Amino acid sequence: MQYLKVNKIQKEFHIEGFPDGVKVIRVKGRKAQRFSDLVLHKRDLDFADECLNCINQATNAQELINEALWRSAIIFYIKCFGNNASRSQLSERVIYKNDPKAVKVFNYFSNLRNKYIVHDENSYSQSLPGAILNKGDKSYKIEKIICFSALLETLTKKNINKLHLLIKTAQLYVASQNDKICEILTIELEASPYNKLLSREPVVYNAPTLKEIDKKRVLNN
């Protein structure tokens, strides 16, 4: 996928590097929506991959930062799979269909995200309350109420490598799907008369407002 330099003139886009371009027209429909979703998946996968790269470059003194990067990488990777009404999701059974071990590793990270990092449900985090009982030769029996708290360490070199491989495979899949959809959309658009294409609405970006924070994104249909 190629990144292009974009300038915004009022609400419309101007793409650098295309001197013969006169307008960025809006493309809609099921295939366009899928393309849009895949671009968002690529953004999340790239972010997760970069988090892992930063961990590998960091020092042991940055333990808190490393843990934050680790959790972010898992969250943004798993975000691309599962159920999401705002965009079509990736399927681990499609991307890793020829590698049962990869599916098993994916399930590990999915459970890690769902049952430990985002939702505190499994035994990877434990908090065990107790009381220190004295010898019984005082006017009171309980010295102090205490609580033993433990979190399982999942940020290991082995786990980093496993997640990195999953992300790389997903990135290659997304890139190949994007290329296929772009080719189909190009053929379909080329079949339309020029004047009809020119009359299409332009690509317009409206910055989101605070009122939209609890609203679902409008689909590209």
pTM of the complete model: 0.85
Q: Which amino acid is at 46?
A: D
Nearest by Cα to 89 from 31, 34, 50, 47: 34
Query: Averaged over 57-65, what is the pLDDT?
Result: 75
pLDDT digits (tens, 9 = 90+) for 179-192: 999 999 999 999 99
The predicted pLDDT at position 86 comes to 72
- 148 φψ region: left (φ > 0), alpha (ψ -120 to 50), beta (else): beta
Residue 66 near residue 52 (C-beta atoms within 8 A) = no
Place 100 in a pLDDT band, splitting at 50, 70 and 90: very high
The backbone torsions φ and ψ at residue 182, rounded to the nearest 5 degrees and listed phi first, read: -60, -40
Rounded to 10 deg, the angle between the 30-57 and 63-78 helix axes is 160
